Structure 1
Amino acid sequence: MWTPDASIIVTAEQKAAKAAAELTDTFRLAIQSHVDQTAQSRRYDSGNSLASYVASTNEAWAAEAQAFVAWRDEIWAHAYAELDKVTAGARPVPEVAELMAELPAMVWPEAA
């Protein structure tokens, strides 16, 4: 009689967890790319680079960094809230472009 090898059996729960992780990773990479491209549009290396200017002695750079960090926080809060809705079954899985279109636009501070 054949005995299944329990170490190679994949359960429905494991499949669902893997799919959820892959979905989250797909959206995370797209959003992080958007964040970094937004910072690069202002000649910073990345979002992390721009955020590091939040306490800059250069008022213009500090203002850009403060606005950027607030925007970045808003984007991630929205994205995770929407993905939580997907996980809970309250929302169908959006296309990446659909979720990206929902994200708030970056509003840069007025130049001094």
Structure 2
Amino acid sequence: MSVITIRPAPLPTLDDYKAAIERLIDARAQDRRYDSAVSLATYVGSTNAAWAAEAAAFVAWRDCVWAYVYAELERVTTGLRPQPSITDFLAELPQIKWPA
């Protein structure tokens, strides 16, 4: 009879969180038919009011997401909160509110 050792999955690295968050941000831009987050952000100064409004909302949301991420990951590194899974962490992030 052999002994099977079950090891817990390794905790995500900072690069794992960063990659997942960047994918989420790009996906929100693609939800609105932009190629990427970078593409959408370039429309902030657009002469098309609807595109400029979407870009402004997106950039404000993106900034809120990264502010939250940095604050919460700092809490993890200082021991103020346990390290979340990537799935759980993504679920905590602020949601975008698109203009009407």
SS in 1 for 2:88: helix
CA distance in 2, matches of 1:58, 1:23: 40
The alpha carbon displacement at 1:36 in A equals 0.2
- Cα offset for 1:23? 1.5
Question: Which of 31, 36, 39 is matched with 2:29 structurally?
Answer: 39
Distance (whole Å) between structure 2 residues aligned to residue 52 and residue 24 of structure 1: 27
- Aligned equivalents of 1:38, 1:90: Cα separation in 2: 30
Counterpart in the other structure of 1:105: 95
**Two-structure CA RMSD over aligned residues (Å):** 1.6
Q: What SS class does the counterpart of residue 28 from structure 1 fall into?
A: helix
1:92 to 71, 82, 97: 82
- Give matches, 1:1-112, under 5 Å: 23-110=13-100
Higher relative contact order (CA 8 A, sep 6+): 2
Aligned residues: 91
Structure number with the higher helix fraction is 1
Larger radius of gyration: 1
Using the size of structure 1 for normalisation, the TM-score is 0.78
Structure 1 residue 24 displacement after superposition: 1.1
Gaps of 5+ in 2: 1-11
Q: How far is 1:44 from its partner?
A: 0.3
After superposing on structure 2, the runs of 4+ consecutive aligned residues of structure 1 that deviate more than 4 Å are none
